[in-house]
Amino acid sequence: MTTRPTARPVPSRRGVTLVEAMVVVAVIAALVGILLPALSIIRRNAQLVSSQSNLRTIGALMTSYSLDNRDHVVPSQFDYTGPFAKSLVRSASPEGTLPNIGALGRGTWTDILWTVGKFGPLVPIADPNDPSSTSDVPSPRWDYRYDSPDYWSYYNPDMVDTNPFRSKVELRKAMPTDTAEAARPFGAGASIKEQGQPGYFAANDFFSAVPNAAGTSNWYTNAMIRYPAMSMYAVDSRAGETIAPPVSTGTNTWEALSLRAWTPNDPNQLCEIEFRYVGDVCSMLYLDAHVATQGKWINYSDLVNNRQTRIERLDQRN
């Protein structure tokens, strides 16, 4: 008897339909839409951690300075052209260099701590946008043995991570378009020239040791400060390396234009603080070297009374 072979089923060759492809693309797009904001938050939180690490480095250097200088607090600004003229901070430069950023013997806390930490020397490059420029860019021979790099150094991406005295987050607030205005280092705020560069940490100018008109200057020791854990030394800022303390506007009334919260509906409000991290917070370094974050405050009174942060009269009990 003859048997007939059994017919095998022919496999289907149907491809992916247009509808199925669109569904897959839609699912991928949805997943990307969910993941991107999360990744952005993770990145910005990492920047906060790195920025606060820089502030802790500053706190450690301040402690080292105090131990070597009879417990004195690092001044926010200094003038070493008088009896301190032999200081190695912003003093005579190595032979052949052109110290054309800031006056010799005068500077800020960053210059002092750069020297304390022995972070130099650095050999910068010329401005890539204008290699022949001499107005904003120092000589390539300048080695920054005695000074913290200023804003121009961030033209060179290789130098961004070499300065612990700047934030890991770029300057964010609206900036004036006048390129003559700049924060290097005492200005009222960064200019458009510094757009996209790392944000500043500004020291509380309560600690300024620059002589006044009478020729006297204030030098504070840690022992003179009543509440070190509440006394702000540095904060995230767009102002440059120092920030003005509040001024008296009457009996027991203190106002601080530089410390007012920046409101979204008034981008030109006089505030030098930047709330540049997730949740609109800024970081503060206190005199006992601990670091904390603060959200936007309503006014100076809110900062002092409710946030337990002192800015002025740090050597007084009240």
Average pLDDT over residues 113-135: 64
Residue 146: pLDDT band with limits 50, 70, 90: confident
Instruction: For the chain, give the number of residues.
Output: 318
- pLDDT score recorded for residue 139: 45
- pLDDT score recorded for residue 111: 87
Average pLDDT over residues 73-92: 72
Residue 229: pLDDT band with limits 50, 70, 90: very high
- pLDDT score recorded for residue 216: 76
Average pLDDT over residues 279-308: 89
Average pLDDT, the chain: 75
How far, in Å, are 11, 72, 131, 145, 300 from residue 153 at the CA level?
Answer: 67, 30, 13, 14, 34
Average pLDDT over residues 73-93: 71
Residue of 252 and 169 predicted with greater confidence: 169
- pLDDT score recorded for residue 270: 53
Range from 67-71, 116-120, 205-209 carrying the lowest mean pLDDT = 116-120
Residue of 255 and 74 predicted with greater confidence: 74
- pLDDT score recorded for residue 26: 79
Whether residue 220 is predicted with pLDDT greater than 90 in this model: the reply is yes
- pLDDT score recorded for residue 60: 96
- pLDDT score recorded for residue 186: 64
Whether residue 198 is predicted with pLDDT greater than 80 in this model: the reply is yes
- pLDDT score recorded for residue 12: 58
